[in-house]
Chains A and B, each alone.
Chain A
């Protein structure tokens, strides 16, 4: 089969790879009909998260059709079933899964010892996301082996196009959980850093949950335009001081709820801490650039909530923890518990409350994926979200 394979920093290729096989009774194989490049894939593309090995298959936003099922999953899945594959691999049986904390499933990371060393304790196995999370092959491929498939899937009906459903695999529930974690009240002002795909989903979610005002912070004009169309008031951080703008808009009190939809590769302009982060990162003295986190802690209203769906991979520096403590801020983070939200979000899509496909700007064959990684990372050609179609490759 063809798959997008990581070869090193900034080097992803569309290679031939062995077809996946059933390795365990709970496995299933799906034929991928649509997959997407996630903003967090860019952290791997740029190699800011350790644990990638040359030859790893990328991708964790995938949907398709079941073509083979192991004996242990036959009660849950049938051949021909249309499914979305959540990016988190879940067993559905451990204590964390039973609590609904699917992203920290205790069973599915087959390289748990690595993650225990890096993070203290391991979270769930993830598709196509380093050997720290299991080293599982990802879904930017023609076929995908789904471990623990009896639990790791979302059944979806026929008659709704892939584009409307695909993002149930990650970015829609991620933006949704970011807003849920804020426990938005009708009086709340919500500030969201980053207007990439997750940021856009977080904006929509905050509006749907009834936030009084939503501020969206970015510097890319087309992303800000999309955020504005979704009901946000926009702040271009290249033009204005974000802290001053948010304080001015909230009578000096700051927003009650702040969301970091940026993560470890924050791009700030003309800020001292951003230059400091760049220098430390270049010297390998710091893995993550925490400008957004610092800004959120500083501007958030006392007793407010910080929600962090943006991905961090390792170590950050100069975090104003004194401000965080003295203002009594609550911080909620984590990979997304996708299956916790999928039924509700599927219903909202079916009812027409929201159509997540609005973020798609590029749809191409899988073979054009490597070029699109670069286009997406460099924010060229108005790129906000790329969908890849393995069935539409050039012959």
Chain B
């Protein structure tokens, strides 16, 4: 009864693919960057020459830390890496808006954009790799609707093992057995009506 052949794209002989490793690295990077944005927004704001942008940088920091934690905590980081790609695009758009000729720190902005482009490329490569890894393994839902392990339909097998004598240590107490008016009363109730304790 062997099933479908193995189709995982992980490195042969290992459970941990290079895309998994990259995702974990990006998770740590995201947390580090996010903390920097939360702790020193004014410094980053000055470096890029964008005035009054501390609150935006802090918001980006919260996003980065949350995404990083999610990447590290989840079994499947794929959606969170794609989330990072979306965040990268927002970051690029924000930085690009600071590239006007009046900004004295536009060289720093250009460097920021370069770094963002590299990060985005890494995020996209990781997301595509993880998605492809998943896609290979989820081509179709298998049909197990006829696999029961029984030689006949379950309705004919119900109770086939009633010959089993349940060991005394696993039996339920007599008083908890199914209630039936016709069942002889267990010894514990032989105290009689007078003797029954409240």
Contact = CB atoms under 8 A, between A and B. Distances in A.
Interface of A: 10-14, 45-46, 100, 163, 180-181, 183, 185-188, 200, 204-205, 207-211, 221-223, 225-226, 228-231, 278, 282, 303, 305, 330, 332, 340, 344, 348, 352-364, 367-368, 370-375, 377-378, 380-382, 384, 387
B138 A381 contact: yes
A180 B140 CA distance: 36
A209 B170 CA distance: 14
Contact of B170 (A180, A229, A278, A353): A180
B148 A371 contact: no
Given A187-B178, A208-B158, A380-B137, 6 more contacts: A180-B170, A230-B150, A358-B148, A358-B149, A363-B2, A387-B2
Contacts of A180: 164, 166-167, 170
Interface residues of B, number: 53
Interface of B: 1-8, 10, 12-16, 20, 69, 73, 75-76, 134, 137-151, 154-155, 157-162, 164, 166-167, 170-173, 176-178
Contacts of A330: 172-173, 176
Contacts, number: 184
Q: Which 5 A-B pairs have the closest CB atoms?
A: A231-B154, A382-B142, A210-B159, A363-B2, A380-B137
Contacts of B69: 282
Contacts of B178: 185-188
Nearest to A232: B154
Contacts of A361: 3-4, 142, 144
Contacts of A163: 1
B15 A183 contact: no
Contacts of A205: 161
A363 B4 CA distance: 8
Contacts of A356: 149
Residue with the highest number of chain A CB atoms closer than 10 Å, among B5, B16, B73, B144:
B144
A371 B151 contact: no
9 contacts: A14-B14, A180-B164, A207-B154, A207-B158, A230-B147, A231-B157, A282-B69, A358-B1, A358-B148
A349 B13 CA distance: 34
A208 B161 contact: yes
A364 B150 contact: no
